[in-house]
Structure 1
Amino acid sequence: MKNLSFYKIEIEPDKNKRIDQLIASELPEYSRSRIKNWINRKDITINGKPCSPKDKILKKSVIEIRILENEELDIQPEKINLNISYEDKDILVINKNPGMVTHTAPGHFLGTLQNALLYHYPNLKNVPRAGIIHRLDKNTSGLIIIARNLIAHNSLVSQMKEKMIIKKYTALVTGMVTRNQIIRKKIGRHRINRLKMSVTDSGKEAISKIIVLENFKKSSLLDIELVTGRTHQIRVHLSSIGHPIIGDDLYGFKKSAHNHDKNLVNFLNSYHYHALHAKYLCFNHPITKKKIIINSEIPKSFVTIKSLLIKNYAKS
């Protein structure tokens, strides 16, 4: 039996974007064509009324979306090893490897975290998106919370909405970041390259807290806490201040910036990930309400880059 998922999204007025564009920015794992099909099928309503894909939001509105999970994607369980950082009968916390896509989607039918979860935990077919509460980009590693039942799912989704889940990351970036700072820059879909996000006055509020942990020659190790959780937020914010994440070609990383270190460049030639790791989670257990704090190990490739940076810095 296929499962229904329901989403309720509060949208601010935006006379410049169509409703299908706004929903696509809220649910980036679904294609625009798929969203249009839902609208035409009347599975999406604005303030309780059917809408058209080209409609625009002229006042603060509530969008409700009814999704029949797996209606277009036959999501197959797949035997893929998982790194489990925490587990009980209600929740899991997975330490995702870099290179793994979080959700199954067109172009990514196999090899995803969702495929793996459905293999190891078949009952997750009864929970929206196999219980995945939040996502990480394919080339970002780190901690992801999984709800094992609907009660846990509803509680954790509510905590996400109320910004009660604390998420911290560590990143290696190009250039020496000289001070701790809070980046407050709105983020929206890039107007030309739809695969990218960008800093834009018409975007949504986005806040990132940046702490400098260590400086190397022409690079820095940072600790980042997300106050908001926009798509590609850390990547966009760091790029916007001139410090793209090592390995993040989409947002401006250039290997040539590290030509002074041949060993590092040689390693980066075969490195296809981002030096960005979701290292810390703090949230309330959905059932017991006890505070859960999880820390994770940094991937070996991340450690290798850091060690090469340290060696080069020591020589300078």
Structure 2
Amino acid sequence: MVRHVVRHTLVIPPELAGRRLDQALASLLPEHSRSRIKGWIEAECVRVDGAAARPRQRLAGGERVEVDAAVEAEEAPAPEPMPLRIVHEEAHLIVLDKPAGLVVHPAAGNPRGTLVNALLAHDPALAVLPRAGLVHRLDKDTSGLLLVARTPEAHTRLVRAMQARAIARTYLAVVNGVVTAGGTVDAPVGRHPVDRKRMAVVPAGRPAVTHYRVRRRFRAHTLLEVRLETGRTHQIRVHMAHLRHPVTGDPVYGGRPRLPRDPLPALAERVRAMRRQALHAARLAFAHPLTGTPLAFASPLPADLAALLEALEEDLAAHG
């Protein structure tokens, strides 16, 4: 089995003083499991200040740790050349604008034709990074911005920034019903107790926090600006449905299409034609993982969402 070895060079921060080496590395390399890290230590692939490490070794803080992380090359999906909407590209990261309909990660039902396949064709070196460097994900039918790391150091730092909620992700969503005011949903999200293909607000779920504010009210819909504090599967869609304001067009959580009384024909047509959730990852802001420079990117509304909002505006104007 062919392996790539990626070297991580870390300095133990003061806040991890007194921790065991395996615990500290699990915190500093969150993209790797603790069992994998332990395996690297036992295989003498980890050195502390130049000396071979022990799994339960206690740290004082300030040590220089080198980790030769072995990654199985055959685990990487096959590269497939596909067009990519690249918003920003440099040595350490890429920012992409994903169209609706594109699956991000290969899975049993989608082994090929995914964003990961396209990324590996664009930059084969991404094969040594977890999930081809993707720092977060979007559902297949959610459009908008995605962040990709290109180096092990950038990936580790961006994953840590995501976990520390230091990467700001802002979405635009058209939801059913008239939302009276903005607010926050703080409700755990986990697998639906009956339908395991869906997510739901459940007491045993993982903590999930979504902030939202009203951008524009229509007769039977609302345009929301949504900011994620956590990143659970289907989080915005589940939380909006929990508020009884599901995302318009959502085939899983949205229910029947919502229309105001006596809608303009153009609005009725647009709402019925919206076969995917009206959700777009519009803005992304974070500090550069190596230099700390603030970076911010924006994505314009895709054509289907722009057309839906235009029809909502025309219907609102026509009914005074």
> What range is the shorter-chain TM-score in?
0.7 to 0.9
Query: 1:55-106 CA deviation, whole Å, 9 max, x = no partner?
Result: xxxxxxxxxxx985654xx622222111111111110000100010111111
CA distance in 2, matches of 1:243, 1:276: 13
The secondary structure found in structure 2 opposite 1:273 is coil
1:173 maps onto 2:178 in alignment: no
Report what 1:24 is aligned to: none
Secondary structure of 2:145's aligned partner: strand
Tell me how far 1:212 sits from its aligned partner.
Answer: 0.1
Give 2:139's match in structure 1, choosing from 123, 129, 137.
Answer: 137
1:266 aligns with 2:269: yes
Deviations 1:197-217 (A, max 9, x none): 111122122111110000011
Distance in 1 separating the partners of 2:171 and 2:4: 33
Instruction: Tell me the secondary structure at the aligned position of residue 114 of structure 1.
Output: helix
Report matched runs for 1:99-138 at 5 Å.
99-138=101-140
Q: Distance in 2 between matches of 1:307 and 1:69?
A: 48
Partner residue in 1 for 2:58:
none
Aligned equivalents of 1:106 and 1:238: distance in 2? 28
2:92: which partner in 1? 90
Spell out, residue by residue over 1:158-202, the C-alpha distance to the aligned partner (whole angstroms, 9 max, x if none). Answer: 111111111110100111001011111111110111111111122
Is the contact between residue 4 and residue 69 of structure 1 (CA under 8 Å) also seen in structure 2? Answer: no
Further displaced range: 156-165 or 93-102: 156-165
**Residue identity opposite 1:222 in structure 2:** L
**What amino acid sits opposite 1:128 in the alignment?**
P
Q: How far apart in 2 are the matches of 1:160 and 1:70?
A: 27
Do the aligned partners of 2:3 and 2:71 also contact (CA within 8 Å) in 1?
A: no
1:70–1:168 Cα change, 3 Å: farther
What corresponds to 1:78 in structure 2? 80
User: What CA distance in whole angstroms lies between the structure 1 residues aligned with 2:73 and 2:223?
Assistant: 40
Alignment partner of 1:251: what SS?
coil
Shift of 1:253: 3.3
Compute the displacement of 1:285 (Å): 0.8
DSSP 3-state at the match of 2:97: strand
Matching of residue 295 in structure 1 with residue 302 in structure 2 = no
TM-score, normalised relative to structure 1: 0.76
Within the candidate set 262, 273, 280, 1:277 is matched to: 280
* % same residue: 36
CA distance in 2, matches of 1:259, 1:121: 52
Q: Are 2:220 and 1:218 aligned?
A: yes
2:16 corresponds to which residue?
A: none
How far the C-alpha of 1:252 sits from its partner, in A, is 2.6
**Match of 1:230?**
232
In the TM superposition, what is the alpha-carbon distance from 1:295 to its structure 2 partner?
Answer: 1.2
**Which amino acid in structure 1 is aligned with residue 193 of structure 2?**
R
* Distance in 1, Cα, partners of 2:5 & 2:130: 8
Q: CA 1:76–1:270 in 2, change beyond 3 Å: closer, same or farther?
A: farther
Structure 2 letter corresponding to 1:235 = R
Q: Which runs of 5+ in 1 are unaligned?
A: 6-26, 28-37, 49-65
Aligned residues: 261
Give the structure 2 partner of residue 31 of structure 1.
none
CA distance in 1 between counterparts of 2:201 and 2:5 reads 34
Question: What's the CA shift for 1:256?
Answer: 4.9
C-alpha distance 43-293 of structure 1, shift in aligned 2 (>3 A): closer
Normalised TM-score (structure 2): 0.75
In the other structure, the counterpart of 1:310 is: 313
Secondary structure in 2 matching 1:255: coil
Residue 63 of structure 2 corresponds to which residue in structure 1? none
The match for 1:54 is none
* Match of residue 241, structure 2, among 226, 239, 246: 239
Match 1:198 to one of 179, 197, 200? 200
1:150 maps to 2:152: yes
Q: Distance in 1 between matches of 2:199 and 2:314?
A: 34
Inter-partner Cα distance in structure 2 for 1:238 and 1:123 = 38
- Distance (Å, rounded) in 1 between the aligned partners of 2:182 and 2:317: 23
- In structure 2, relative to structure 1, the CA distance for the partners of 1:69 and 1:258 (3 Å cut) is farther
Q: What amino acid does structure 1 have at the position aligned with 2:225?
A: D
